[in-house]
Amino acid sequence: MARGLNSVNLVGTLTQAPEMRYTANGLAILELNVAGNDHVVGSDGQERELAWYHRVSLFGNQAEMMADQLNAGDPVFIDARLNFRSWETPEGQRRSMLSLNANRVERVTYGTRSDQPTVQDARGQDRLRFALNEARIIGNLTRDAELRYTPSGDAVLGLSVAVNERYRDRSGQDQESTHFVDVDLWRELAEASADLQKGAPVFVTGRLKNDSWTDREGNQRRTTKIEASRIEFLTRGSESGGSGTPAGGGGRSQPAASPNPPAPAPSESRLDIDEEFPPEEDLPF
Amino acid sequence: MARGLNSVNLVGTLTQAPEMRYTANGLAILELNVAGNDHVVGSDGQERELAWYHRVSLFGNQAEMMADQLNAGDPVFIDARLNFRSWETPEGQRRSMLSLNANRVERVTYGTRSDQPTVQDARGQDRLRFALNEARIIGNLTRDAELRYTPSGDAVLGLSVAVNERYRDRSGQDQESTHFVDVDLWRELAEASADLQKGAPVFVTGRLKNDSWTDREGNQRRTTKIEASRIEFLTRGSESGGSGTPAGGGGRSQPAASPNPPAPAPSESRLDIDEEFPPEEDLPF
């Protein structure tokens, strides 16, 4: 699998005071609710302000340091990573969630947009008007792309991307985890990416958004995904490419523009993607 | 000093075959020349294509792995960091350079912009038309901001930002270095940032560009800088804020929007900024 890239930057307003809690092991977790407006150009060429609300967790010493510094209404800068978790309900159904773990949170001032920097939402919460909302990932497709069209004729492509992450945990052990990230592509981007197949490595950048939908049992469900503003098709998907891998020198040239990269080798993928990823019918369109 | 953030993402075309060289210690360095066009909206509201050419170094095993895979004309994705170096000329003048060290380089395909993806420049080199060129830094101002105006009346503000970096070197030692990055802000951004003072911590995102100018001795000089598309004023500049710092608990609240953050404490700054940074008259306007 491609070595993952997993980065989210947000600038938004805290909609409420942060909440501190502690795990059974005593780890501090500060939960932040952040909101902002993106400025997006629609299919009609018109710019729209689209609201977003994201929940971000900050951990450990940083959580304790920031707890007393942050108040409802404060504008903040957040550098974060996407974090995938999945579990089984008591009824035996698989559920998953994509959350945001902060590397750092900084309080900012209303500097450069000081005239009407926020709008109030229906709950009376301040939301930053000119927010920053940028996600960047590198990963491999968990299934073939499938192009669809909305009733109004807009092309839309839903990708699911497995982002591989290697990191050193608190006890100094090297760990590996995989984050499954849904990506929506629209119009030209969707049509140009329609031939992508399972295993293909991609770089995606775009805005992070939440969708909600009602599942077959009538439950309200939520998912966090990236709406892509750009996608790049990488050409060396099955190589791990880390500087620490004994790759045996260069010269592993591939055909110039392989449209169909091999699926990840079983020995390299810690998880069985098909089993671990929520079933197709569980996903919103 | 604020804990630094130092990240550059590029998607462009290799203008020539990469060059491999080795340090005296045997470390492989692959030098890449990358080019692309940014699409920038000028003061007249018109979009322009602006060319950029950047040189990027890739190190070690990754350099050796990629050396045979990359050819002139290939489009590539690059994840890199800004690297500041300074030295003294034989004539006793201080010189400095901002270069790009790659964390990773990936070959990409002409996927989503397959109709006329490149233009040829005057030297016959291919340059990607819809390039990606995004730099993100967090650091502290090394001097007060000073607003100026071009003859045509456009406000322009030149900031110099010290980006602090802690990293683990190849022998496992924790190291610290500071990268001095010039930032240009234009028009509304410039005027809204005119009160920033020495020491102020900022987050800046924008496009990386090269400027050249002629110095007093008539030498052609080059510099790499960020043209900001966004700036955020951070409010806790003198705190290091790393998760590993024994900060003694929370409660270090500052006034809501301090316009004049304290200068970095001498004990925390490894370098004397005034001495280490190139003198003012050495910098292009």
| Shortest distance, CA B259 to any CA of chain A (angstroms) | 9
Cα of A176 vs its chain's centroid, Å? 17
The pairing of beta strand A94-107 with beta strand A47-59: parallel
The closest CB to that of B243, out of A60, A109, A236, belongs to: A60
Asked whether residue B151 carries a pLDDT value surpassing 60, the answer given is yes
Cβ pair A68:B250 closer than 8 A: yes
- Contacts of residue B36 in chain A, CB cutoff 8 Å? none
Mean pLDDT of A223-235: 95
Q: Please give the Cα distance from B118 to B267 (Å, whole number).
A: 50
Token pair of B233, please?
A: 């004023």
Residue-range domains of chain A with CATH: 5-240+259-282 (2.40.50.140)
Say how far apart CA A156 and CA B209 lie, in whole Å: 35
Note whether A233 contacts B111, CB cutoff 8 Å. yes
CA A216 to chain B, closest CA, distance in angstroms equals 35
Q: Which tens digit of pLDDT belongs to each residue from B176-225?
A: 999 999 999 999 999 999 999 999 999 999 999 998 888 888 888 889 99
- Annotate chain B with three-state secondary structure: CCECEEEEEEEEEECCCCEEEECCCCCEEEEEEEEEEEEEECCCCCEEEEEEEEEEEEEHHHHHHHHCCCCCCCEEEEEEEEEEEEEECCCCCEEEEEEEEEEEEEEECCCCCCCCCEEECCCCCEEECCCEEEEEEEEEECCCCCEEECCCCCEEEEEEEEEEEEEECCCCCEEEEEEEEEEEEEHHHHHHCCCCCCCCEEEEEEEEEEEEEECCCCCEEEEEEEEEEEEEEECCCCCCCCCCCCCCCCCCCCCCCCCCCCCCCCCCCCCCHHHHCCCHHHCCC
Q: What is the mean pLDDT of chain B?
A: 82
Q: Which of A65, A251, A253 sits opposite B241 (nearest CB)?
A: A65
- Phi and psi at A213, nearest 5°, equal -155, 170
**Confidence (pLDDT) at B245:** 33
**What integer pLDDT is reported at residue B217 of this predicted model?**
82
pLDDT-based confidence at residue B1 (cuts at 50, 70, 90): confident
Of A125-129, B134-138, B170-174, B251-255, the least confident: B251-255
Residue of A nearest to B66 (CA): A250
Which pTM does this prediction carry? 0.80
Are the C-beta atoms of residues B81 and B8 closer than 8 Å to each other?
yes
Nearest CA in chain B to A245: B61
Distance from CA of B179 to the nearest CA of A (A): 20
Q: Which two tokens stand for residue A216?
A: 């077959």
| Closest B-chain CA to A131 | B230
Asked if A59 and B243 come within 8 Å (Cβ–Cβ), the reply is yes
The pLDDT of residue B269 is 30
Report the pLDDT averaged over residues A203-210.
96
Tell me the pLDDT tens digit for each residue of B169-184. Answer: 778 888 899 999 999 9
Percent of chain B's residues with pLDDT above 70: 81
Strands in A2-69 per DSSP E? 5-14, 19-22, 28-41, 47-59
Calpha distance A24→A12 (Å, rounded): 31
The CA distance from B265 to the nearest CA of chain A, in Å, is 19
Residues of B whose CB is below 8 A from A168: none
Task: Give B90→chain A minimum CA distance, Å.
Answer: 37
A239 pLDDT above the threshold of 50: no
pLDDT, residue A56, reads 97
Residue B256 pLDDT grade (very low, low, confident, very high; cuts 50, 70, 90): very low
More confident residue, B170 or B82: B82
Distance from the B257 Cα atom to the nearest Cα atom in chain A, whole angstroms:
6
Query: What b/e readout covers A187-210, taking b as 16+ CB neighbours within 10 angstroms?
Result: eebbbbbeebebbbbbbbbbbbbe
Quickly tell me which residue has 């939520």 as its tokens: A222
Higher pLDDT, A269 or A190: A190
State the pLDDT confidence band at B107, using cuts at 50, 70 and 90: very high
pLDDT of residue A169: 77
**Facing B109 at nearest CB: one of A66, A104, A235:** A235
Q: How far is B231 from chain A (nearest CA, A)?
A: 7
Band of pLDDT at residue B263, cut at 50, 70 and 90: very low
Q: What pLDDT does A71 receive?
A: 95
Span A13-27, pLDDT tens digits: 999 999 999 999 999
Cα–Cα dist A6/B78, whole Å: 14
**H/E segment holding residue A61:** helix A60-67
Assign A214 to helix, strand or coil.
strand
User: Cβ–Cβ of A108/B203 closer than 8 Å?
Assistant: yes
- How confident is the model over B87-109, as a mean pLDDT? 92
Tokens coding A50:
């689209």
Q: Indicate the residue of A68, A69, A232 with minimum beta-carbon distance to B111.
A: A232
**Summary mean pLDDT of chain A:** 82
Q: Do A253 and B111 touch (CB under 8 A)?
A: no
pLDDT in tens, A93-130: 888 999 999 999 999 987 666 678 899 998 999 999 99
* Across A215-236, average pLDDT: 90
Give dist(CA A53, CA A74) in Å, integer.
14
Nearest by CB to B250, from A5, A67, A79: name it.
Answer: A67
Q: Do A68 and B253 touch (CB under 8 A)?
A: yes
- Chain A hits for B240, CB-CB cut-off 8 Å, are none
- Chain A residues whose CB is inside 8 A of the B3 CB are 104
- Which residues are within 8 A (CB) of B273 and not within 5 positions of it... i.e. 6 or more apart? B142, B162, B264
**C-beta atoms of B77 and A244 within 8 A:** no
- pLDDT given for residue B26 in this prediction: 93
Closest-approach residue (CA) in chain B for A70: B253
Of A11, A189, A239, the CB nearest to B112: A189
Q: Do B61 and A247 touch (CB under 8 A)?
A: yes
Burial of residue B262 (CB within 10 Å: 0-12, 13-18, 19+) is exposed
> Taking 80 as the threshold, does the pLDDT of residue A260 lie above it?
no
**Band of residue B112 on the pLDDT scale cut at 50, 70, 90:** low
Q: A241 and B138: CB-CB below 8 Å?
A: no
Separation in Å, CA of B76 to nearest CA in chain A = 8
CB contact under 8 Å between B233 and A109, yes or no, is yes
Q: Which amino acid is at B246?
A: P
Rounded mean pLDDT, B75-94: 92
Given this model, what pLDDT does residue A2 score? 79
